Amino acid sequence: MNRKKFNSICKALPKTTHVVQWGNADVWKIGGKIFAIGSRWGKDNARLDVKISFKCSDFSYSLLIQEKGFIPAPYLARAKWVQIDGQTDLSDDEIKAYIHAAYDIIVQKLTKVLRKELSI
């Protein structure tokens, strides 16, 4: 998945915000909380147009870190984030589904008041 496609998937989700920070990383948030990051960090970032990190459920985390091309996300693994760190067998549609799930996880962590303010 390239950076443009990653950003279009995140942008299509309701009420998201986008900032570029941490050395040109695309950081996607809902209600001020991050759900996905697209970056070019690491030693060999030519392998992918973008390294994608996202929040996942405990179960998905335990599965994905065993998949080819996935690692526990640097600095965020303790919070159950993964990073695509190479070529993966997952399709773009499967990655999109995980990004949507990350968004949903973060939405559920927002206060009821904030969810109401955002109309989500």
Which residues fall within 8 angstroms of residue 99, CB to CB, at 6 or more apart?
6, 9, 10, 35, 36, 52, 54
**What mean pLDDT is predicted for residues 97-114?**
97
User: C-alpha dihedral over 17, 20, 25, 31, to 10 degrees?
Assistant: -20
Per-residue tokens: 6? 């990653």
| Residue 118 confidence (pLDDT) | 93
| Residue 22 confidence (pLDDT) | 84
Give tens-digit pLDDT for 43-95. 554 444 678 999 999 999 999 999 999 999 999 999 999 999 878 899 999 99
pLDDT bin (cut points 50, 70, 90) of residue 1 is confident
Q: What H or E segment, with its residue span, contains residue 18?
A: strand 16-21
Q: What H or E segment, with its residue span, contains residue 113?
A: helix 112-118
Domains in the chain with CATH codes: 3-114 (3.90.1150.30)
Per-residue tokens: 1? 């998945």
| Residue 40 confidence (pLDDT) | 74
